[in-house]
Amino acid sequence: MPQKSTQTARKKLKAGGLKAELVGVVLLTVSVTAAIVYIPWLLTSQRNINNIAAQVNEQITQDTSQEVERLFDNVQSTQQTIGLAIKRDLIDINDPQQRDPFLLSILQTHSNYTFVQFAYPNGNYAGAQRVGASKGKDDIFKLHFRQWDAQTRIADKNTTIYRLDGQQLKVIGREKIQEPNWYAPLRPWYQDAIESIDRTVWTEYVYRSTNTPGLDANITLHKDGKLIGVIGVGFELKIFPNTCKNSKAEEKKGLYSSSMSRAR
């Protein structure tokens, strides 16, 4: 009897060991099978994710590049529009009642622009500036006019401040200061435009009023062979959150002078 019990116990032990081995084999088989299925799926999935990420990045780069190109083209079109309006006597650039609303309307129409300006050979300057939203409210605009005095070598700067209320610009303030030696023809962007002769020249700037980098596009305007002035359009680089500089756009435009230290 004891021997039989021992044999039975041994059989049970062997049977239990076999079951354990079978369970182990099954688990191993399942694990191997899962690995065979999962690992290629994981690799494929990872490749798909990488491909999707690459495509998204490529699309972002392409969209940004196209946005920059459109903005550059729009700036040059705006300069041409201003030039034609002056040449055809549609506006009198020397009459503030015509000039000021004209410059402000251009700035309102193009939300990406920061500056629209006209600099005169006699040293005077007129410019419309978008300052930006004030505490989440409507946009703030400034209209600057500098009157150059050749004797004192001082420019009297008069600034009218507007708030855009709906579609209407409402005057909310005025400022007046004197700026010694602020003579338009001596400004770097003015001289760059003169050297380029009827070609748009792009100048990198730090806008003193907002302390942000930006680009100015300036071009000379002639009428009947006489220099009338320099037309400028500028925008801050912060409108491009992903790129501060676009090499393709810079190469396309050709004339591009870097002068970050030049403040307006």
pLDDT reading at 72 higher than 80: yes
The residues, ordered by sequence, that sit 6+ positions from 147 with a Cβ below 8 Å of its Cβ are 124, 155, 156, 158
Render pLDDT for 22-51 as a digit per residue (tens, 0 to 9): 445 444 555 555 555 555 655 565 666 555
Structure tokens at 129: 């500036």
More confident residue, 232 or 12: 232
3-state secondary structure of 89: coil
Render pLDDT for 155-175 as a digit per residue (tens, 0 to 9): 999 999 999 888 889 999 999
Query: What amino acid occupies position 166?
Result: G
At residue 226, φ and ψ (nearest 5 deg) are -110, 140
pLDDT at 174: 97
Mean pLDDT of the 215-232 span: 94
pLDDT at 177: 97
Query: What amino acid occupies position 50?
Result: N
pLDDT at 166: 81
Instruction: Output the CA angle 144-145-147, nearest 5 degrees.
Output: 150
pLDDT reading at 3 higher than 50: no
Structure tokens at 138: 């409507």
Instruction: Output the CA angle 138-141-147, nearest 5 degrees.
Output: 165
Mean pLDDT of the 173-194 span: 96
Looking at every residue in the chain, the average pLDDT score rounds to 76
pLDDT reading at 251 higher than 80: no
pLDDT at 62: 55
Alpha helices (H) along the chain: 2-87, 96-109, 188-196, 247-253
Structure tokens at 172: 């909310």
Instruction: Output the CA angle 145-149-153, nearest 5 degrees.
Output: 110
More confident residue, 244 or 83: 83
More confident residue, 19 or 83: 83
Q: How far from the centroid of its chain's Cα atoms is residue 52's Cα?
A: 25
- Percent of the chain scored above 90 by pLDDT? 47
